[in-house]
């Protein structure tokens, strides 16, 4: 009898002190992703709040109308205050600026318009003091045609002769034609005739951006050395530009390139969409190349120590291909292949089910043990406020801050900056300039690249002030504070559910910690919801921890789980107040309490039978 009582007592005690014991690993439901990381040490980048700086437009320190490195250094405390932990900078290297820095003439030199190498080193020092990591843009697909390598390649200098993709073209009836029908991302043939060399060269972007030839091992080595150079300057990693374009198919044994097939939905023969890019995009060799860059970073870390150096890959590709960039069983890849699904799959008219599907698409495709990331915008995409609705910016920041993994904010999105309309006359983006006045707006990236609005002065303080023009949404800072402090948000499990067409819920939970619930009312009506219908294990009341200006509840208020009102386009983060509810059984039975009850019952039975 004593034995039974003791065993039962121990079972209950054990359960109280170690509630995870006996709790089965949560199942994978359609709306649930068990990617929680219960034990392992998290690396800095796994929960980082990244911020993209487009240097031309961030902060101008010398009054020449273009942002610069000293401007960035000046404003780093602002990023620190926001809670940003790392920032990636669009290219700051010597460039004729045909594609605003994405056409690099010298990969290891700072463009004078942005400053000097000493300014860069100063920026690194300021960043180190503030504990903000600096990530540089690595543009491997092409250089500028003003790069020394290209000049020497065009002149058939033996060392550089095959640095780029050259071809004499196709001769038909005595006339010379480009080697294939390939089209540039920025319109028109991807082949440009070079008078000097008397050959065509490939350019997948503008003609001032000749494609490097990655089938040449010397190119691969040269570009790895570019990585080593900046690693030596102390950067924390690289954002890799235009990754899917890096390799194109090799010529056949007749030295011919195959034509790409047509897309019948596009009738404009100059437009990139006219062809299916089966020979110029997503070639399998590209994935191995990214793995080789990761090996360069890891080797540097082994030699020099310090925290992880990382790769973030710009991969607009089908999801199965994007996932391969993470790595495989034998090789590591980019820690963070950018997740662009919030950009590519959602629109102004998406409902909560579409949001749910979009978030789950990434989480469910992601290989086990990898880290998710959420990108709301960048310098190539209409601003999130213009894309998904100005009055949804706060809720989207709330969503990305409370989903698992890292998030990436494009400069100005924390203020809800929206696209600025730019006339055809003022348009400078080559992607738009290569079109015409009637269609340029579909292609222009200028509207999302306008100067950061630091103040409400005429020049928006871009040139001399440090206070922001639009208020920073209060919740933005609070969200990042919360995420820094909360183990649940950093490493907890995730459940994503559309509670109706209008309301999306994200539940984050971790044993022995608070559970968080993020609620988004995507639509314009007032919504009353009963949370217990979808999350029966929640307590009757929840505490409000983050609100937006639209919310009628305040931080600290207690709300009823059975009847909670959300204002139009409102969003909230709620928290459980009792750790009991954080056990989050997700409907599964816990083994030990059940065993405990059985043992007590057995004991009562024995006691009764012994009377
Ligand atoms: C990437 C950049 C874009 C640039 C292109 C060519 O997509 O983000 O801005 O124009 O590559 O380098």
pLDDT at 122 over 70: yes
Residue of 186, 206, 240, 380 to mutate, ligand 1, most atoms within 8 A of C-beta: 380
How many Å lie between the centroid of ligand 1 and the Cα of residue 132?
A: 25
Position 545 confidence tier, pLDDT thresholds 50, 70, 90: very high
Residue 313 in any domain: the answer is yes
**Same domain for 546 and 439:** no
Alpha-carbon gap, residue 99 to 475, rounded angstroms: 35
380 ligand 1 Cβ < 6 A: yes
Q: How much of the chain, in percent, has pLDDT values that exceed 70?
A: 86
Alpha-carbon gap, residue 496 to 517, rounded angstroms: 10
**Same domain for 287 and 257:** no
- pLDDT at position 10 is 40
User: Within a 10 A sphere around the Cβ of 546, how many other Cβ atoms?
Assistant: 24
241 ligand 1 Cβ < 6 A: yes
DSSP string, 70-122: HHHHHHHHHHHHHT--EEEE---EE---TTTTSS-SEEEEE-TTT--HHHHHH
Residue 594 in any domain: the answer is no
| Number of domain units in the chain | 3
- As given in the structure block, the two tokens for residue 543 are 């505490």
Q: Is 310 helix (H, G, I), strand (E, B) or coil?
A: strand
pLDDT digits (tens, 9 = 90+) for 438-459: 999 999 999 999 999 898 777 7
**Same domain for 511 and 568:** yes
How many Å lie between the centroid of ligand 1 and the Cα of residue 495?
A: 34
Q: Is 279 helix (H, G, I), strand (E, B) or coil?
A: coil
pLDDT at 518 over 50: yes
pLDDT digits (tens, 9 = 90+) for 504-515: 999 999 999 999
- pLDDT at position 469 is 62
Once rounded to an integer, what is the mean pLDDT over residues 303-314?
A: 98
Say whether 314 is catalytic: yes
- pLDDT at position 596 is 53
pLDDT at 581 over 90: no
Alpha-carbon gap, residue 361 to 407, rounded angstroms: 16
**Same domain for 163 and 230:** no
Residue 26 in any domain: the answer is no
How many Å lie between the centroid of ligand 1 and the Cα of residue 394?
A: 27
pLDDT digits (tens, 9 = 90+) for 154-163: 999 999 999 9
Residue 27 in any domain: the answer is no
- As given in the structure block, the two tokens for residue 460 are 């928006």
**Same domain for 309 and 171:** no
- HSE on the CB side for 357, CA within 13 Å? 9
Once rounded to an integer, what is the mean pLDDT over residues 543-550?
A: 94
pLDDT at 592 over 50: no
How many Å lie between the centroid of ligand 1 and the Cα of residue 241?
A: 6
pLDDT digits (tens, 9 = 90+) for 466-483: 666 666 766 788 899 999
- pLDDT at position 187 is 97
Close Cβ partners of 387 (under 8 Å, ≥ 6 residues apart): 343, 346, 347, 348, 377, 381
Alpha-carbon gap, residue 556 to 3, rounded angstroms: 47
139 ligand 1 Cβ < 6 A: yes
Position 261 confidence tier, pLDDT thresholds 50, 70, 90: very high
How many Å lie between the centroid of ligand 1 and the Cα of residue 582?
A: 44
Q: What is the CATH number of the domain that holds 164?
A: 3.90.400.10
DSSP string, 370-388: ---EEE---TTS--HHHHH
Alpha-carbon gap, residue 81 to 271, rounded angstroms: 44
- pLDDT at position 577 is 87
454 ligand 1 Cβ < 6 A: no
pLDDT at 251 over 80: yes
Once rounded to an integer, what is the mean pLDDT over residues 324-329?
A: 97
242 ligand 1 Cβ < 6 A: yes
- Minimum-distance ligand 1 atom for the alpha carbon of 316: 7
Close Cβ partners of 159 (under 8 Å, ≥ 6 residues apart): 152, 218
pLDDT at 337 over 90: yes
- As given in the structure block, the two tokens for residue 133 are 């990591």
Q: Look at 313 and 10; give whichever has higher pLDDT.
A: 313
Q: What is the span of the domain harbouring residue 191? A: 141-213+249-277
DSSP string, 436-477: -TTTHHHH--GGGSSPP--SSSTTTTTTT--S-SSPPPHHHH
What mean pLDDT value characterizes the chain?
90
**Same domain for 264 and 302:** no
**Same domain for 506 and 365:** no
Alpha-carbon gap, residue 206 to 572, rounded angstroms: 45
Q: What is the CATH number of the domain that holds 480?
A: 2.60.40.1180
- pLDDT at position 601 is 67
pLDDT digits (tens, 9 = 90+) for 126-162: 999 999 999 999 999 999 999 999 999 999 999 999 9
pLDDT digits (tens, 9 = 90+) for 188-204: 999 999 999 999 999 99
Residue of 52, 92, 99 to mutate, ligand 1, most atoms within 8 A of C-beta: 99
**Same domain for 104 and 72:** yes
Q: What is the CATH number of the domain that holds 410?
A: 3.20.20.80
How many Å lie between the centroid of ligand 1 and the Cα of residue 499?
A: 38
Across the chain, which distance is largest between two alpha carbons, in Å? 112
186 ligand 1 Cβ < 6 A: no
Residue with tokens 């090789």: 331
Alpha-carbon gap, residue 190 to 187, rounded angstroms: 8
97 ligand 1 Cβ < 6 A: no
Position 608 confidence tier, pLDDT thresholds 50, 70, 90: low
Position 27 confidence tier, pLDDT thresholds 50, 70, 90: very low
Residue 551 in any domain: the answer is yes
Once rounded to an integer, what is the mean pLDDT over residues 264-278?
A: 97
Strand 237-240 with 133-138, pairing: parallel
Say whether 527 is catalytic: no
């Amino acid at each position: 009898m004593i034995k039974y009582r003791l065993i039962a007592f121990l079972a209950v005690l054990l359960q109280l002190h170690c509630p995870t014991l006996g709790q089965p690993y949560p199942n994978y439901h359609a709306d649930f992703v068990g990617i929680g990381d219960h034990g392992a040490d998290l690396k800095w980048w796994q929960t980082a709040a990244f911020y993209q700086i487009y240097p031309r437009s961030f902060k101008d320190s010398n009054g020449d109308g273009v942002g610069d490195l000293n401007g960035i250094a000046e404003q780093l405390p602002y990023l620190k205050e926001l809670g940003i932990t790392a920032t990636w900078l669009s290219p700051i290297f010597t460039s004729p600026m045909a594609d605003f820095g994405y056409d690099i003439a010298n990969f290891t030199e700072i463009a004078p318009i942005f400053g000097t190498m000493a300014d860069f080193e100063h920026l690194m020092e300021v960043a180190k003091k503030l504990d903000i990591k600096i990530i540089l843009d690595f543009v491997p697909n092409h250089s500028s045609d003003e790069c020394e390598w290209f000049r020497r390649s065009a002149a058939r200098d033996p060392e550089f002769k095959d640095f780029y993709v050259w071809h004499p073209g196709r001769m038909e009836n005595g006339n010379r034609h480009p080697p294939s029908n390939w089209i540039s991302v920025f319109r028109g043939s991807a082949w440009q005739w070079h008078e000097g060399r008397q050959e065509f060269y490939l350019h997948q972007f503008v003609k001032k951006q000749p494609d490097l030839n990655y089938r040449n091992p010397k190119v691969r080595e040269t570009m790895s050395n570019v990585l080593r150079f900046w690693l030596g300057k102390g950067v924390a990693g690289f954002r890799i530009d235009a990754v899917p374009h890096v390799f194109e198919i090799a010529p056949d044994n007749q030295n011919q390139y195959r034509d790409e097939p047509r897309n019948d939905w596009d009738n404009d023969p100059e437009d990139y969409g006219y062809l299916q890019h089966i020979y110029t995009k997503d070639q399998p060799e590209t994935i191995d190349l990214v793995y080789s860059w990761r090996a360069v970073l890891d080797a540097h870390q082994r030699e020099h120590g310090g925290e992880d150096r990382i790769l973030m890959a710009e991969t607009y590709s089908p999801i199965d291909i994007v996932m391969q960039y993470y790595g495989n069983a034998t090789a590591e890849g980019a820690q963070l292949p950018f997740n662009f699904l919030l950009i590519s799959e959602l629109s102004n008219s998406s409902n909560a089910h579409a949001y749910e599907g979009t978030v789950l698409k990434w989480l469910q495709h992601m290989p086990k043990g990898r880290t998710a990331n959420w990108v709301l915008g960048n310098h190539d995409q209409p601003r999130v406020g213009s894309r998904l609705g100005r009055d949804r910016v706060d809720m989207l920041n709330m969503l990305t801050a409370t989903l698992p993994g890292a998030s990436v904010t494009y400069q100005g999105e924390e203020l809800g900056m929206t696209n600025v309309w730019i006339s055809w006359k003022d348009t400078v983006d080559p992607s738009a300039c290569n079109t015409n006045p009637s269609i340029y707006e579909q292609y222009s990236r200028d509207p999302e690249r306008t100067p950061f609005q630091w103040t409400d002065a005429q020049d928006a303080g871009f040139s001399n002030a440090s206070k922001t023009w639009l208020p920073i949404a209060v919740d933005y800072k609070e969200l990042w504070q919360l995420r820094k402090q909360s183990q649940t948000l950093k490493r907890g499990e995730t459940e994503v559910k559309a509670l109706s067409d209008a309301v999306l819920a994200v539940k984050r939970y971790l044993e022995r910690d608070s559970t968080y619930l993020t609620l988004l009312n995507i639509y314009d009506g007032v919504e009353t919801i009963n949370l217990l219908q979808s999350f029966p294990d929640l307590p009757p009341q929840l505490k409000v921890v983050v609100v937006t200006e639209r919310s009628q509840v305040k931080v600290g208020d207690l709300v009823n789980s059975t009847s909670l009102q959300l204002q139009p386009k409102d969003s909230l983060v709620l928290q459980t107040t009792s750790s009991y509810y954080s056990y989050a059984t997700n409907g599964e039975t816990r083994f030990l309490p059940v065993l405990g009850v059985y043992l007590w019952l057995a004991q009562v039975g024995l006691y009764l039978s012994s009377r």
